[in-house]
Amino acid sequence: MTNVESVVNGVTIHSMQHSEIDREKGLLISHDQYTIFKDRCEPEMHTNSFSLQIYTAEELQAILSENEFEIVGQYDMDGNCFIADKSLNILTVARKKKHVKC
């Protein structure tokens, strides 16, 4: 869970986010709650949820290959070599395959 509090033009904004992974569907689901505190007013609460599709390194390779891309490399987000059971994120570099004209 992430908690952040900011002050913008005298207005205090408190945000909380928690996320969950649905491995069966391959989704990262995040839930946000924002509370806005203005001078002498009731706090305003806003919520939002969104999901991101997540893929394994192998799934990314297959999707890119099916769409005529070749993998240049896969790295963790720090630019180090991707290690499947240790890296938290995947940075995939790919390029469109060139077609030879006859």
pLDDT value at position 6?
Answer: 94
Flag whether pLDDT at 99 surpasses 80: no
pLDDT value at position 84?
Answer: 87
Q: What residue spans define the domains of the chain?
A: 2-53, 57-96
pTM as predicted:
0.63
Cβ burial 45-64 (10 Å sphere, 16+ → b, else e): eeeeeeeeebeeeeebbeeb
User: If you average pLDDT over residues 71-80, what whole number do you get?
Assistant: 92
Flag whether pLDDT at 47 surpasses 80: yes
Flag whether pLDDT at 45 surpasses 90: yes
- Residue identified by tokens 């059971």 is 85
Flag whether pLDDT at 34 surpasses 90: yes
The class that CATH gives domain 2-53 is mainly beta
